[in-house]
Amino acid sequence: MENRLAMSDKIQFDCFPGIQCFTQCCRDVNIMLTPYDVLRLKNALGMSSEDFLDKHTIILYKEKKLLPIVMLKMQEGKDKRCPFVSNQGCKVYENRPWACRIFPLSPNEDGSYKIIADKSRCLGLKAEKKWTVSEWLLEQGVPEYDYVNRKFSEITDPLKTLEKRIENPRIQDMLLMALYNLDKFREFIITSSFLQKFELSLSKIQYILASDMQLLMLGLDWIKFSLFGHKTLKLRKKKSKTKNE
């Protein structure tokens, strides 16, 4: 039952400077970044999306997969440490990725949770502090990330059925831009025919362009409209020609 923890079940865990294994879990790990992870991190670092992706990620394109995998790039060297961790702890703690927030837990497909930390290495599992799973997730700010990730899954799940039918490489570029490279997506909206094609009020446009979060939500809607035919965006009506035209 240890691998099927409900929200009301308790876990024993604490992590703090001074514990012998502090930051050891931040080394030589594979962390897949969600669009919201990239949004939060690039803003926290004061970087553009393009610069963040170039400097801090590895983008993997798999054959017959429409959506690239965006991985956090670890530092070179023997320990392959996360670029945002120091001996004092995480330097981007308030904006750390979802995978770091939820540790030592991981969700199961049925909605329960399991402990993924190695008990032989993670001394935090031997700490006296106890939490319910719900308390831990709330304390770590996981629900906000889960909300955006659920919106993201509304695209990733249907994409699996389309991958065998779509071979246009531009689709990958479109997905990467709208989900991960928000600054480029913002520029695309302004400089392309996007605003002429879709019916958006001026106040809505201003709100979207001023907020990365709203921009990401628009990107999700655009993908649903373009790839799945969902009525998430409304096309502008074409002006009918007059007799003199």
Q: Which residue has the higher pLDDT, 161 or 31?
A: 31
Q: Which residues contact 16 (CB under 8 A, 6 or more apart)?
A: 22
- What's the average model confidence in pLDDT over 70-98? 92
Over residues 123-134, the pLDDT tens digits come to: 999 988 999 999
- Tell me how far CA of residue 128 lies from CA of 22, 131, 226, in angstroms: 16, 10, 51
Cα–Cα distance for residue pair 14/63, rounded to 1 Å: 41
Alpha-carbon gap, residue 191 to 22, rounded angstroms: 47
pLDDT digits (tens, 9 = 90+) for 177-230: 999 999 999 999 999 999 999 999 999 999 999 999 999 999 999 999 999 999
Cβ proximity of 202 and 209 under 8 Å: no
Look at strands 130-132 and 89-90 and give their pairing.
unpaired
Separation between Cα atoms, residue 45 and residue 42, nearest integer Å: 5
Q: Which of 30, 3, 44 is CA-nearest to residue 212?
A: 44
Specify the pLDDT at position 240. Answer: 57
Backbone angles phi, psi at 212, to 5 degrees: -65, -35
- Binned at pLDDT 50, 70 and 90, residue 245 comes out as low
**CB-based contact 73:178 (threshold 8 Å):** no
DSSP class of residue 128? Answer: S
